[in-house]
Structure 1
Amino acid sequence: MNPTIYDVSRLSGVSIATVSRAFSNPERVREDTRRKVFEAAEVLHYSPNAIARAMARQRTDKIAFLICKEGATILDEFYAGICTGIMRETNRSDFELVISTAADWDTASNTSKNKQVEGVILGGNARPDMIAELQNRDLAVVLVNNRIQGLDIPCVVSDEYGGVRQALEHLIGRGHRNIAMLAGRFSPYILGERYRAFLEVTQAHGLPADTRHIKLCDPTVESAAEACLELLSRQDRPTAIFGGNDVMAAGAMKAALRLGLRVPEDLAVTGLDDSSACGMLEPELTSVHIDCRRMGELSVARLQALLAGETDVPQVTVVPTELRVRGSS
């Protein structure tokens, strides 16, 4: 028979209410009394019922992770990495995790509201109206892989500027003076950081900081290939391409192949994400590694801090990036 709260009460010599309070609001119980309760619970192998504990504290211990990317699924490799970090961190705590895409969450809005989540982690380019709705419901909100100026919301991001800088300095170190960037249509924050990094780093190295060297395109192979073909058709064609993610870098390599150019001899290519695609390409793709799992773990930590009522939660947490050099550059 499983031990009950009554058993803990009898063994510890304190009331049932005190036992319940020791688990639900330990800060309200004297240290010596807490020790008696926890020792009795350990002897009996007693674990407080999660539902009862939630009712006692008027909390559900349930959080949600919503992927805010058009056409995204939970199988998206980048967000799957973040999700792994979120699951790893929630498994260390008493939180229950709900995972969905923003689109599916909206479609099932009535059901979602009834899930009674306490906090939400929004991954990617979250819509302002969705953020406002969540805040109006007094939910704790954390952004991951995005930052929105003017909103008092903790966010966890990778070092976008530093990642671009590492890739460009690698290419410049290999002697490239004419470098172009395929800038994907990501969130304004990510696009802005990469755009700024490209112009400032090239200018700092005495290279022409020309916006003509930046092509905006969708983060797909075909869109990137089309943009790269336009760049490579110029009389002063670039000798190196930085892709806004690994998919776009693959598009650049495809464009080079169509034109009979060799990678990296005629065109060096680097990507960003360090996805599984890097090892599937030939030559293997140089890419900036983003620690998605760490981003996920930190987003849970920030959400937990908000739910605990902490007032000094960092507004911006930046996770370092690392260039991984392979054969494409």
Structure 2
Amino acid sequence: MDTPTIYDVSRLSGVSTATVSRTFTTPDRVRESTRRRVYAAAEALHYQPSAIARAMARQQTDKIAFLICKEGATILDEFYASICEGVMRRANGTNYQLLISTAEEWTRTAQSKQIEGVILAGNAQADLISEFQRQNIPVVLVNNRAAGFNLPCIVADEAGGVRQVVSHLISAGHQRIAMLMGRFSPYVTSARYNAFLSVMRENGLSVDESGALMCDRDIQSATEAALRLLSRPDRPSAVFAFNDVLAAGVMKAARRLGLRLPEDLAVVGFDDSSVCPMMEPELSSIHVDCRRMGELCMEHMAALLDGAQDVPRLTVVPVNLKIRASSRAAI
């Protein structure tokens, strides 16, 4: 029979290898219920604590990976960089090191990296999630929910944000409200699209196919789509854009057509990025507390590594609309 390894103890006890290590080296840092599970697994496997300690000295890394799962992403992406900042805030002062990368880059170089947990930010693919689970590595998702996986997920209140946008525009007198959708993850796209239709219908307003356009996520694609939308005889009086880059494209198209903002067209974005107060007029947008989302990621990950069984599977972070000049004037 093969000699049991540290990973056998980890699998049998249902905790990470980092937690197994702490249980035998610094047991005061591990909750009692977790210690009992680890001790029971080690006893069942006839594994000696001293052997575990030696194995962990050779193999333990105490590293957590933060991977941005977005096509063409870089670690400088403002939205995910802000989430990562929250993760780092919570990681500081702990024994964990944080590795930051994109999912694309990670898959090319991960053979040399040993990690205890991974935070997947954005549109993580099922095969990537499955691979980490196969290695018994705890996974936390942020800004995404993955069907078929029972994982802790931290998301912004997408539906609540859309409801705030539409309610604000209706209260300002708008009835012809269009939506410009970017090619985002299926989760984000579906959540915002369905919420938009729901709120519009609740207020007796309809959205035809030409009033909900899809485009790529860059400003050129957004501008071209907005030009088509705003050139219609029954053009909308307000546009809700899926993020601030798309909203900038709408504003650019409006100026090309000689429309005044916000007198002829109101525009609202999503994410409240750093460019919002730099635009003219300043852009109204849904503020997402990315740093709080990151803090929750690290809190949930630390709990998983400590063997907690009660980590929430869904945590929704509230959002709020920042009203600025691009949508403030009434019709």
Length-normalised TM-score, structure 2: 0.82
Tell me the distance in 2 between the aligned counterparts of 1:98 and 1:234: 49
SS of the residue corresponding to residue 326 of structure 2 reads coil
Higher relative contact order structure (alpha carbons within 8 Å, sequence separation ≥ 6): 2
Structure 1: how far apart are the matches of 2:272 and 2:56? 44
What is residue 49 of structure 1 aligned with on the other side? none
2:167 alignment partner in structure 1 = 169
Contact 1:199-1:210 within 8 A present in 2 as well: no
Matched, 1:228 2:223: no
Q: What whole-Å deviation, never above 9, does each CA across 1:111-154 have from its counterpart, x for those lacking one?
A: 2xxx2101000000111111111111110001101111221111
Query: Does structure 1 retain, via aligned residues, the 8 Å contact 2:31–2:306?
Result: no
**Separation in 2, partners of 1:27, 1:147:** 31
Cα gap change, 1:54/1:155 in structure 2, threshold over 3 Å: closer, same or farther? farther
Secondary structure of the residue that 1:303 maps to in structure 2? Answer: helix
Structure 1 counterpart of 2:115, from 117, 133, 140: 117
**CA RMSD of superposed structures (Å):** 2.1
Q: In the TM superposition, what is the alpha-carbon distance from 1:208 to its structure 2 partner?
A: 1.1
Number of aligned pairs?
286
Kindly indicate whether the alpha-carbon contact (under 8 Å) linking 1:246 and 1:271 is maintained by their aligned counterparts in 2.
Answer: yes
Establish whether residue 25 from structure 1 lines up as the match of residue 23 from structure 2.
no
1:137 to 135, 138, 145: 135
Per-residue CA distance 1:232-278 (angstroms, 9 max, x = gap):
12121100000100000000000001101011011100000000110
Contact 2:276 2:282 in 1 (8 A): yes
Q: TM-score, normalised by structure 1?
A: 0.83
Looking at structure 2, the residues matched to 90 and 29 of structure 1 have their Cα atoms a distance apart, in angstroms, of 19
- Check the 8 A contact 1:22/1:28 in 2, yes or no: no
Contact kept in structure 1, 2:165 and 2:321, CA below 8 Å: yes
In structure 2, relative to structure 1, the CA distance for the partners of 1:199 and 1:131 (3 Å cut) is same
Tell me by how many angstroms 1:190 deviates.
Answer: 0.5
Aligned counterpart, 1:215: 213
Q: Which has the larger radius of gyration?
A: 1
Report the 3-state secondary structure (helix = DSSP H, G, I; strand = E; otherwise coil) of the residue aligned with 1:276. Answer: coil
Aligned partner of residue 281 in structure 2, secondary structure: coil
Instruction: Give distance in 2, aligned partners of 1:179 and 1:56.
Output: 61
For the 8 Å contact 1:23–1:53, the answer to whether it is kept is: no
Q: Secondary structure at the match of 1:75?
A: coil
Q: C-alpha separation between the residues in 1 aligned to 2:171 and 2:59?
A: 58
CA distance in 1 between counterparts of 2:55 and 2:95 reads 10
**Which residue in 2 is equivalent to 1:12?**
none
| Runs of 4+ off more than 6 Å | 27-30
SS in 2 for 1:328: helix
Q: Deviation of residue 179 (structure 1)?
A: 0.3
Q: Within 2, Cα distance between the matches of 1:130 and 1:281? A: 38
1:296 to 259, 269, 294: 294
